[in-house]
Amino acid sequence: MHDIRIAWLLPVAWFYWQPAIAELTKFFPNTTVFTGLFPGFAKGLEGGLKVEVVGEFKVIEIAKDENSYGDNFTYLSPKIIGHLLKLRPQVIFSSSFGIWTMIALLLKPLFWWRVIIAYEGCSPGVDYRNSAARLFVRRLMIWMADAYITNSNAGSEYLIEILKAKKELVFVQPYEIPDEHTLPAIAEGEQLEQLNLPPHQPVFLFVGQIIPRKGLPLLLQACSLLQARGYQQFTLLVVGNGPQQQELETFCQEHHLSDRVRWAGRVNFDKIGTYFHNADVFVLPTLEDTWGVVTLEAMLLGKPILCSSGAGTSELVVSGENGYVFTPEDPDKLADLMQLFLDDPTLILAMGARSQQIMAQYTPLAAAQCMAEVAELVMANRADLPASI
């Protein structure tokens, strides 16, 4: 079975997709990733998987919602048809319900390949539960596909309860996950001197775009509340940039937080590990994220997690063990949780160690093994295929 041809269809082959697919390629060497946008190989994976960039990638905004994903259409080139005809894959993994997934499903009766839909996870901005037309199309695609994989239990529930997928064909396995080898190790003693982080103070870390959906205002409000309670010995390190930054810097000035907050700006992926290593507690205050790989990067590097329930990765935070989950509308609750680490710094090491223990079961290899099992399952159901295929 390991000589079968596999195609992965990804709008963008982000760094966090690459570790699991690289492991899958070890099971099935004839695996090719087709993508509309390729940011380059993650560190250590250079040449570890075959990638072909197809045509043009473009996101067309239909309706804007700053607190959500909004209503967007991702344009991907129809040239994918030629690439698939050349490869003639036997199994296609395709991301979500976009145009390339539609093409793979429409051509399926002609070329006898099997199609597995990879659904990252659910959230209000991408589920379209109130759109009868979109749900009809997605249910039709679910009916035409052969199996489904998803990162989260919430994604599984959406596929089964809303889109009517057969439960036995839905597989829950985090596959968008980091690999410690792609997060560069920190040099011993290295510090972020340019940020002038105060010594011997807990550092809370935010990593993400500075846009309303990511919820950074909530985190800054929580910092302001902590300061009003008399807590001065802590720092918030913000990694990322975006159009909301100037507004939030003004908020910090007005609420006397300028000494508490450090703005690192955008950081290249191959240097992000340095910032995790120099932080104590990771905070993801997002209003809405279908998954949120940055949470798993923090866990992999041994950090306690404060994660909004708006993120799919909140499922991997065990309350009281490796962190806490909070609702993204309650800055008082977030301040209470941050205060726990200020009152008892021993929680930082204990919960950080538990984060690493949890991540030990969610590895690129485990994800690849799940993909391989699903691929072999759908291949086993090819008894109706012509002998020449």
Residue 317 contacts residue 352 (beta carbons within 8 Å): no
Q: Checking DSSP bridges between strand 170-172 and strand 57-63, what pairing results, if any? A: unpaired
- Closest Cα partner for 311 from 214, 222, 224? 214
Q: Residue 192: what pLDDT?
A: 60
In this prediction, residue 272 carries a pLDDT of: 86
Helices 245-254 and 216-228: angle between axes, nearest 10 degrees: 10
Q: pLDDT tens digits for 309-360?
A: 999 999 999 999 999 999 999 999 999 999 999 999 999 999 999 999 999 9
Q: Where would I find the beta strands (DSSP E) of the chain?
A: 6-12, 31-37, 50-53, 57-63, 71-76, 91-95, 114-119, 147-150, 170-172, 203-207, 235-239, 261-265, 281-284, 305-308, 323-326
Q: Residue 73: its pLDDT value, please? A: 74
pLDDT at residue number 105:
98
Give pLDDT < 70 ranges for the chain.
1, 63, 65, 68-70, 184-194, 382-389
Structure tokens at 234: 């802590």
Q: What is the DSSP string of 149-191?
A: EESSHHHHHIIIIIS---GGGEEE---S---GGGSPPPPTT--
Give pLDDT, residue 185.
54
Quick one: tokens of 6? 């596999």
Cα separation, 134 vs 265, in Å, equals: 37
Task: State residue 382's pLDDT score.
Answer: 61
Give the pLDDT confidence score for residue 63 in this predicted structure: 66
Main-chain phi, psi angles of 295, to 5 degrees: -60, -40
Return the pLDDT at 124. 86
Complete DSSP assignment for 55-110 = S-EEEEEEE--TTS--EEEEEE-TTHHHHHHHH--SEEEEETTSHHHHHHHHHHHH
Query: Is residue 69 within 8 Å of 45, Cβ to Cβ?
Result: no
**pTM metric for this prediction:** 0.92
**CA-to-CA separations, 262 to 153, 181, 292, in angstroms, rounded:** 35, 27, 22
Q: Which residues contact 12 (CB under 8 A, 6 or more apart)?
A: 35, 36, 37, 38, 39, 57
Look at residue 197 in the predicted model and tell me its pLDDT. 79
Other C-beta atoms lying within 10 Å of the C-beta of residue 158:
22
Domains annotated on the chain, with CATH: 6-177+363-380 (3.40.50.2000), 181-359 (3.40.50.2000)
